[in-house]
Amino acid sequence: MSDSYKHMLEVASRFNKSVKRLNEGVKRQLKKMIEELLNGQHSGKSLKGPYREFKVVRIGKYRLIYSDKEPCKIVLHDIKHQEITYI
Amino acid sequence: MSVSVVVNPSPTIPYSSTRITVFRELLDHLRSYVKSVLEDPKNIEVVVQELLKDQNALKLLYRASKEVRKISWSDWLEALKSFYALSERFKDVGIDVKDAFDIIAEHDMWKLQQIRKNFDKYADMFFDFSVNYPEDANRYIIVYMSVFLLLIATIEARSLEKLRALGEELNRFAEELELYTLTFMIGMDESWEKELDIVATARTPEELRREIE
């Protein structure tokens, strides 16, 4: 168990779908960020209003949305790509 | 017959101007606020608080926002090019504002798309947000208006020192604006909360690797 993370990780279906669309480079960066979250080395900023329990960290042009409201547990909810909409 | 003359210190602004006139009136009206921002960019929030008490400024902003909705998409794209050209001003001051400009563009273009394509749903979402979370809604207005004034001040800035200070503030407010962009995007996405069911867990690097790959 010595290589276990400090926190337990849970993965939501939305995250699972989003991660499949990422290229290998982004996946590597994402894994590093998740490990930092799981080891308590990094913390994101809270969203607003009804979603304030969700936090965001930036990974290049991607934003990882997660929550940590329960002790010792990180839940990954979504990855959103930053994009400028052209109608 | 005596006639009493009432001098209104804040005359009502007529609603018949063309788009260009409205924008020009707005920029003229904002000149003193922009000057204050240029004097001390770190004081931007105080300036915005003053602006939000100015009834004429609010009327002009309201009229300008209505005009903005009528702008053609090709004109919007031109405006977007000019907007990014503004970021070039920061090249010589050692401040990277690229992310900030992308965040601002993402926010405005997404919002414009919602207003044009999903106006009722967007208005409902924003109304609920404002009613149920007034402090966050108020903060959003401060953040959004700060970005707006900082961008105008960037056009007017004449020294590298001022530009640097404006760039630092733009970066700070853009970071906060992004949280609102994501909040509103999620608020408009009906499927979002339906897809938060937990489908996997991980405790070790090997388990994490399996989930990411």
How many angstroms separate the CA atoms of B213 and A31, rounded? 10
Give residue A42's pLDDT: 87
Q: Which residues of A touch B109 (CB under 8 A)?
A: 84-86
Q: What is the pLDDT of residues B46-75, one digit of tens each?
A: 999 999 999 999 999 999 988 888 888 888
A43 Cβ contact partners less than 8 Å away, ≥ 6 residues apart: A37, A55, A57, A68
What percentage of chain B carries pLDDT values higher than 70? 92
Judge whether A34 is closer than 8 Å to chain B, CB to CB. yes
- Mean pLDDT throughout B91-118? 93
Judge whether A35 is closer than 8 Å to chain B, CB to CB. yes
- The label of the residue with tokens 């300008």 reads B64
Cα of A85 to nearest chain B Cα, Å:
6
Considering only A4-13, A32-41, B8-17, B121-130, which range has the smallest mean pLDDT?
Answer: B8-17
Give residue B4's pLDDT: 40
Give residue A17's pLDDT: 92
Neighbours of A18 (CB within 10 A): 21
Judge whether A25 is closer than 8 Å to chain B, CB to CB. no
Helix (H/G/I), strand (E/B), else coil: A75:
strand
- CA dist B55 to A43, A87, B101, B153, B180, Å? 40, 33, 29, 21, 25
Q: How many CB pairs under 8 A join A and B?
A: 123
Q: How many residues are recorded in chain A?
A: 87
> What integer best gives the mean pLDDT of chain B?
90
Q: What is the pLDDT of residues B105-123, one digit of tens each?
A: 999 999 999 988 999 999 9
For chain A, domains (ranges, CATH) are: 8-81 (3.30.2310.20)
pLDDT band at A87 (very low <50, low <70, confident <90, very high): low
- Mean pLDDT throughout A35-54? 94
Would you list the domain boundaries of chain B? 19-189
If one compares B57 and B22, the residue with the highest pLDDT of the two is B57
Question: Is B183 in contact with A87 (Cβ distance < 8 A)?
Answer: no
